[in-house]
Protein backbone atom coordinates (compact mmCIF):
# COMPACT_ATOMS: atom_id res chain seq x y z
CA UNK A 1 0.00 0.00 0.00
CA UNK A 2 1.24 3.49 -0.89
CA UNK A 3 0.92 5.13 2.51
CA UNK A 4 2.79 8.44 2.10
CA UNK A 5 1.51 10.49 -0.82
CA UNK A 6 2.68 13.85 -2.19
CA UNK A 7 0.20 15.93 -4.22
CA UNK A 8 1.16 19.17 -5.95
CA UNK A 9 -1.40 21.84 -6.74
CA UNK A 10 -3.41 20.54 -3.80
CA UNK A 11 -5.11 23.74 -2.66
CA UNK A 12 -8.08 23.45 -5.03
CA UNK A 13 -9.72 21.46 -7.79
CA UNK A 14 -8.58 17.94 -8.58
CA UNK A 15 -5.62 18.05 -6.17
CA UNK A 16 -7.87 18.97 -3.28
CA UNK A 17 -10.44 16.37 -4.31
CA UNK A 18 -7.85 13.58 -4.51
CA UNK A 19 -6.47 14.56 -1.09
CA UNK A 20 -9.95 14.16 0.41
CA UNK A 21 -10.38 10.72 -1.15
CA UNK A 22 -6.97 9.53 0.07
CA UNK A 23 -7.68 10.86 3.59
CA UNK A 24 -10.80 8.70 3.67
CA UNK A 25 -8.54 5.75 2.84
CA UNK A 26 -6.21 6.54 5.74
CA UNK A 27 -3.19 7.70 3.74
CA UNK A 28 -0.65 10.24 4.98
CA UNK A 29 -0.51 13.33 2.80
CA UNK A 30 2.17 15.87 1.92
CA UNK A 31 0.43 18.72 0.13
CA UNK A 32 1.89 21.76 -1.61
CA UNK A 33 0.55 24.73 -3.55
CA UNK A 34 0.99 28.49 -3.79
CA UNK A 35 -2.07 29.31 -1.66
CA UNK A 36 -1.09 28.31 1.86
CA UNK A 37 -4.29 29.67 3.43
CA UNK A 38 -6.26 27.16 1.40
CA UNK A 39 -3.81 24.40 2.26
CA UNK A 40 -4.21 25.17 5.97
CA UNK A 41 -8.00 24.97 5.67
CA UNK A 42 -7.71 21.71 3.72
CA UNK A 43 -5.42 20.22 6.37
CA UNK A 44 -8.04 20.94 9.05
CA UNK A 45 -10.73 19.35 6.89
CA UNK A 46 -8.63 16.24 6.23
CA UNK A 47 -7.87 15.74 9.92
CA UNK A 48 -11.58 15.92 10.68
CA UNK A 49 -12.18 13.25 8.03
CA UNK A 50 -9.44 11.06 9.54
CA UNK A 51 -7.64 12.22 12.71
CA UNK A 52 -5.20 9.30 12.52
CA UNK A 53 -3.40 10.44 9.38
CA UNK A 54 -0.41 12.76 9.05
CA UNK A 55 -0.91 15.85 6.89
CA UNK A 56 2.05 18.08 5.99
CA UNK A 57 1.67 21.29 4.02
CA UNK A 58 4.28 23.44 2.28
CA UNK A 59 4.11 26.53 0.09
CA UNK A 60 5.31 25.80 -3.44
CA UNK A 61 5.14 27.58 -6.75
CA UNK A 62 6.10 24.78 -9.15
CA UNK A 63 7.55 27.37 -11.54
CA UNK A 64 10.31 27.90 -8.96
CA UNK A 65 12.11 24.76 -10.04
CA UNK A 66 14.79 24.78 -7.35
CA UNK A 67 12.03 25.00 -4.74
CA UNK A 68 10.39 21.86 -6.16
CA UNK A 69 13.47 19.82 -5.24
CA UNK A 70 13.75 21.49 -1.83
CA UNK A 71 10.10 20.88 -0.90
CA UNK A 72 10.08 17.26 -2.08
CA UNK A 73 13.23 16.55 -0.08
CA UNK A 74 11.64 18.21 2.97
CA UNK A 75 8.62 15.94 2.60
CA UNK A 76 10.96 12.94 2.37
CA UNK A 77 12.82 14.00 5.52
CA UNK A 78 9.63 14.48 7.51
CA UNK A 79 7.82 11.35 6.35
CA UNK A 80 10.91 9.15 6.12
CA UNK A 81 9.70 7.58 2.87
CA UNK A 82 7.60 8.80 -0.06
CA UNK A 83 5.49 6.11 -1.69
CA UNK A 84 3.69 8.12 -4.35
CA UNK A 85 4.00 11.54 -5.99
CA UNK A 86 1.07 12.95 -7.97
CA UNK A 87 2.21 15.62 -10.44
CA UNK A 88 -1.04 17.54 -10.54
CA UNK A 89 -0.22 21.28 -10.56
CA UNK A 90 -1.18 22.92 -13.82
CA UNK A 91 -3.00 25.77 -15.51
CA UNK A 92 -5.20 26.43 -18.52
CA UNK A 93 -4.53 29.98 -19.67
CA UNK A 94 -4.26 30.58 -23.37
CA UNK A 95 -5.68 31.80 -26.67
CA UNK A 96 -5.26 31.16 -30.38
CA UNK A 97 -1.64 31.49 -31.43
CA UNK A 98 -0.84 34.74 -33.16
CA UNK A 99 -3.59 36.74 -31.47
CA UNK A 100 -1.38 38.61 -29.01
CA UNK A 101 -1.47 36.28 -26.02
CA UNK A 102 2.03 34.81 -26.13
CA UNK A 103 2.70 35.48 -22.45
CA UNK A 104 -0.39 33.52 -21.38
CA UNK A 105 0.45 30.67 -23.73
CA UNK A 106 4.05 30.67 -22.52
CA UNK A 107 2.94 30.56 -18.88
CA UNK A 108 0.79 27.52 -19.57
CA UNK A 109 3.60 25.85 -21.51
CA UNK A 110 6.13 26.37 -18.72
CA UNK A 111 3.80 25.40 -15.87
CA UNK A 112 2.31 22.33 -17.53
CA UNK A 113 5.47 20.89 -19.02
CA UNK A 114 8.77 22.35 -17.79
CA UNK A 115 7.53 22.54 -14.21
CA UNK A 116 6.01 19.06 -14.50
CA UNK A 117 9.44 17.88 -15.65
CA UNK A 118 10.98 19.43 -12.51
CA UNK A 119 8.44 17.56 -10.36
CA UNK A 120 9.17 14.28 -12.16
CA UNK A 121 12.92 14.80 -11.75
CA UNK A 122 12.57 15.53 -8.02
CA UNK A 123 10.23 12.59 -7.44
CA UNK A 124 12.16 9.99 -9.41
CA UNK A 125 15.43 11.09 -7.83
CA UNK A 126 13.90 10.16 -4.46
CA UNK A 127 12.40 6.94 -5.84
CA UNK A 128 15.72 5.84 -7.34
CA UNK A 129 17.43 6.35 -3.97
CA UNK A 130 14.65 4.38 -2.23
CA UNK A 131 14.42 1.82 -5.06
CA UNK A 132 10.64 2.13 -4.87
CA UNK A 133 7.82 4.54 -5.57
CA UNK A 134 4.86 5.40 -7.76
CA UNK A 135 4.89 8.47 -10.01
CA UNK A 136 1.50 9.70 -11.23
CA UNK A 137 1.26 12.39 -13.89
CA UNK A 138 -2.04 14.14 -14.51
CA UNK A 139 -2.33 14.65 -18.26
CA UNK A 140 -5.66 15.16 -20.07
CA UNK A 141 -7.94 13.64 -22.67
CA UNK A 142 -6.82 16.61 -24.80
CA UNK A 143 -3.38 14.96 -25.04
CA UNK A 144 -4.83 12.50 -27.55
CA UNK A 145 -5.18 15.07 -30.39
CA UNK A 146 -4.48 18.71 -31.09
CA UNK A 147 -7.14 21.21 -30.04
CA UNK A 148 -7.70 24.77 -31.18
CA UNK A 149 -8.12 28.24 -29.67
CA UNK A 150 -7.69 28.38 -25.88
CA UNK A 151 -6.85 24.66 -25.74
CA UNK A 152 -4.16 24.77 -28.41
CA UNK A 153 -1.14 25.12 -26.11
CA UNK A 154 -2.81 23.34 -23.18
CA UNK A 155 -3.38 20.20 -25.28
CA UNK A 156 0.18 20.35 -26.60
CA UNK A 157 1.62 20.50 -23.07
CA UNK A 158 -0.48 17.53 -21.99
CA UNK A 159 0.63 15.54 -25.03
CA UNK A 160 4.22 16.34 -24.10
CA UNK A 161 3.61 15.24 -20.50
CA UNK A 162 2.06 11.97 -21.67
CA UNK A 163 5.07 11.34 -23.90
CA UNK A 164 7.49 12.17 -21.08
CA UNK A 165 5.64 9.75 -18.80
CA UNK A 166 5.80 7.00 -21.42
CA UNK A 167 9.53 7.51 -21.76
CA UNK A 168 9.94 7.36 -18.00
CA UNK A 169 7.87 4.19 -17.88
CA UNK A 170 10.19 2.66 -20.47
CA UNK A 171 13.27 3.86 -18.60
CA UNK A 172 12.00 2.33 -15.35
CA UNK A 173 10.65 -0.89 -16.82
CA UNK A 174 11.29 -3.95 -14.64
CA UNK A 175 12.17 -1.81 -11.60
CA UNK A 176 10.17 -1.28 -8.39
CA UNK A 177 9.30 2.26 -9.61
CA UNK A 178 5.93 2.52 -11.36
CA UNK A 179 4.63 5.32 -13.60
CA UNK A 180 0.93 6.00 -14.19
CA UNK A 181 -0.51 8.63 -16.53
CA UNK A 182 -4.04 9.85 -15.92
CA UNK A 183 -6.03 11.34 -18.80
CA UNK A 184 -9.06 12.96 -17.16
CA UNK A 185 -12.03 13.87 -19.30
CA UNK A 186 -14.19 16.85 -18.43
CA UNK A 187 -14.25 17.23 -14.64
CA UNK A 188 -15.50 20.38 -12.93
CA UNK A 189 -12.71 22.36 -11.29
CA UNK A 190 -11.40 25.92 -11.02
CA UNK A 191 -9.41 25.51 -14.22
CA UNK A 192 -12.59 25.13 -16.30
CA UNK A 193 -15.26 26.85 -14.20
CA UNK A 194 -15.98 29.38 -16.97
CA UNK A 195 -16.45 26.73 -19.65
CA UNK A 196 -20.10 26.13 -20.53
CA UNK A 197 -22.00 23.38 -22.35
CA UNK A 198 -19.28 20.74 -22.15
CA UNK A 199 -20.42 17.17 -22.92
CA UNK A 200 -19.97 14.40 -20.35
CA UNK A 201 -18.87 16.84 -17.61
CA UNK A 202 -18.91 15.31 -14.11
CA UNK A 203 -18.63 17.03 -10.74
CA UNK A 204 -15.31 17.24 -8.90
CA UNK A 205 -16.09 14.51 -6.35
CA UNK A 206 -17.15 11.99 -9.00
CA UNK A 207 -14.11 12.80 -11.10
CA UNK A 208 -11.66 12.57 -8.21
CA UNK A 209 -13.06 9.25 -7.04
CA UNK A 210 -12.49 7.90 -10.55
CA UNK A 211 -8.95 9.30 -10.59
CA UNK A 212 -8.05 7.79 -7.22
CA UNK A 213 -9.50 4.43 -8.25
CA UNK A 214 -7.32 4.48 -11.37
CA UNK A 215 -4.25 5.57 -9.41
CA UNK A 216 -4.67 2.67 -6.99
CA UNK A 217 -4.65 0.20 -9.89
CA UNK A 218 -1.24 1.57 -10.96
CA UNK A 219 -1.82 0.91 -14.64
CA UNK A 220 0.17 2.65 -17.35
CA UNK A 221 -2.54 4.88 -18.88
CA UNK A 222 -6.01 5.54 -17.52
CA UNK A 223 -8.82 7.54 -19.11
CA UNK A 224 -11.17 8.75 -16.39
CA UNK A 225 -14.01 8.53 -15.69
CA UNK A 226 -13.82 5.22 -17.58
CA UNK A 227 -17.17 5.87 -19.23
CA UNK A 228 -17.17 7.46 -21.72
CA UNK A 229 -13.48 8.44 -22.01
CA UNK A 230 -11.88 4.99 -22.30
CA UNK A 231 -14.09 4.54 -25.37
CA UNK A 232 -14.05 8.09 -26.74
CA UNK A 233 -10.26 8.32 -26.73
CA UNK A 234 -10.21 5.79 -29.58
CA UNK A 235 -12.69 7.87 -31.57
CA UNK A 236 -10.69 11.04 -30.94
CA UNK A 237 -7.59 9.43 -32.41
CA UNK A 238 -9.26 8.77 -35.76
CA UNK A 239 -11.69 11.70 -35.94
CA UNK A 240 -11.20 14.00 -38.96
CA UNK A 241 -10.11 17.58 -38.29
CA UNK A 242 -13.57 18.88 -39.24
CA UNK A 243 -15.05 16.88 -36.36
CA UNK A 244 -12.41 18.08 -33.92
CA UNK A 245 -13.11 21.67 -34.89
CA UNK A 246 -16.75 21.29 -33.85
CA UNK A 247 -15.73 19.81 -30.48
CA UNK A 248 -13.20 22.43 -29.41
Q: Is the dihedral of CA 157, 19, 136, 233 positive or negative?
A: negative
DSSP SS3 for 12: coil
> What is the C-alpha to C-alpha distance for residues 150 and 140, in angstroms, rounded to an integer?
15
Dist CA 124 CA 82 (whole Å): 10
Phi-psi region of 131 (alpha: psi -120 to 50; beta: other; left: phi over 0): left
Expressed in angstroms, the distance from the first to the final Cα of the chain is 39
DSSP string, 109-174: HIIIIIHHHHHHHHHHHHHHHHT-EEEEEE--GGGSS---GGGHHHHHHHHHHHHHHHHHHHHTTT
Beta-ladder partners of 10? none
Q: Among residues 154, 186, 223, 229, which one is catalytic?
A: 154
Total residue length of the chain: 248
Instruction: State yes or no: is 154 an active-site residue.
Output: yes
Catalytic residues: 154
Amino acid sequence: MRQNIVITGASSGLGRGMAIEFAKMGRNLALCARRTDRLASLKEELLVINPKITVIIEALDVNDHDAVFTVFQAFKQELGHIDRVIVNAGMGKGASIGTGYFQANKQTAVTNFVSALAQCEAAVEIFRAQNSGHLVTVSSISAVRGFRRALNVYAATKAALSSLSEGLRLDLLNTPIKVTTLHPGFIQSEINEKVKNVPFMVDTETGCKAMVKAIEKEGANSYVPTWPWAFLQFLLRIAPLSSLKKMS
